[in-house]
Amino acid sequence: MDQQQLIECHERIKPFIHRTPVLTSRLINGMAEALLFFKCENFQRMGAFKMRGAANAIMQLTDEQKQNGVVTHSSGNFAQALSLAAQGLGVKAYIVMPNSAPQVKKDAVRGYGGKVIECEPNLQAREKASKEIMAQYGATFIHPSNDDQVILGQGTACMELLEDHPNLDYVVTPVGGGGLLAGTALAAHYFGNACKTIAGEPFEVDDAYRSLQSGKIETNQTTHTIADGLKTQLGDRNFPIIQKYVDAIVRVTEDEIISAMRIIWERLKIVCEPSSAVALAAVLKDKSKFQGKKIGIIISGGNVDLGRLPFNR
């Protein structure tokens, strides 16, 4: 994936996405002892950056593929993103979701026009159901994070950030499945001015950190983190990009995530989900690395369950 592909991707998806704002806070800058620029993908359509990759992936399909529809397995933001992108492009979307997924998420997917197929809450059941839909309808499978066209789409958020602030020293994102991190790393490499890419990751699901250490894709035995969007693992399409272009992964505790989330809510006056706060948590944790630098932070999404806020636990 190269610079030209990123440019073409951005032009292609512009009619289907919002160009999200960049916010700053003098108080947060003081806490971090650095200049922070928050790219607010919580204001993106359907509330997260994933709209970018979903739209691009569908637009790159052939007419025949579009006619047969698309399928993915997701209980989170990509389920909504693929449904909304497909609806806008006149394509049928089949979304495999675990039967344990919150009803509000299932309803959101249906509200965006997606057809929900429920399965048992494990990866084997998700994959089996997806393959059955592919066989029955001829639908094309689109992976939430391990797909070249999805990765390119996710990278456009960083492209826009660097257009607005071209001299960033670092761009920091959360890492879960690796699509946002890989796309951001490509954009920082091609469009930044010696801009480095850093990821934040919860200690409780630190498979990406361990994968960079070992040189192979690692998994997690448990996923006890408030950052529910980061429970997935890297894939064979995004991991080589991450290996090549990501400078470091900073691990953070659950308390550090909650603290950073509260800072964003209180000081930026915006709604962000726990996964989004992981990037700020990483910057605040490793102050010596970032002191005096210009740092872009991708606020990845704002789809939070308002009935389960962690601040007053």
Total length of the chain: 313
Give the CA angle between residues 291, 297, 301 to the nearest 5°: 150
Other C-beta atoms lying within 10 Å of the C-beta of residue 42: 23
Alpha-carbon gap, residue 183 to 192, rounded angstroms: 13
Smallest CA-to-CA distance from 166 within 154, 155, 158, 156 is with: 158
Q: With contact defined as beta carbons under 8 Å apart, do 37 and 54 qualify?
A: no
Structure tokens belonging to residue 293: 């630098």
**CA-based Rg of the chain, rounded to a whole angstrom?**
18
Nearest to 7 by CA among 261, 268, 232, 186: 186
Nearest to 54 by CA among 37, 32, 77: 77
**131 tagged catalytic:** no
| Cα–Cα nearest to 160, from 188, 180, 195 | 188
The three-state secondary structure class of 237 is coil
Read off the amino acid at residue 145. Answer: S
300 part of the active site: no
Catalytic residue (one of 39, 74, 75, 130): 75
How far is Cα of residue 147 from the mean position of the Cα atoms in its chain?
Answer: 13
Structure tokens at 241: 């990009």
Select which of 14, 25, 39, 50 is catalytic: 50
Is residue 296 classed exposed, middle or buried when 0-12, 13-18 and 19+ CB atoms within 10 A define those classes? Answer: buried
- Reported in sequence order, the residue ranges of 165-226 that DSSP labels E, i.e. its strands, are 170-174, 196-202
Burial 131-155 (b: 16+ CB within 10 A, else e): eebbeeeebbbbbbbbbbbbbbbbb
Active site residues: 50, 75
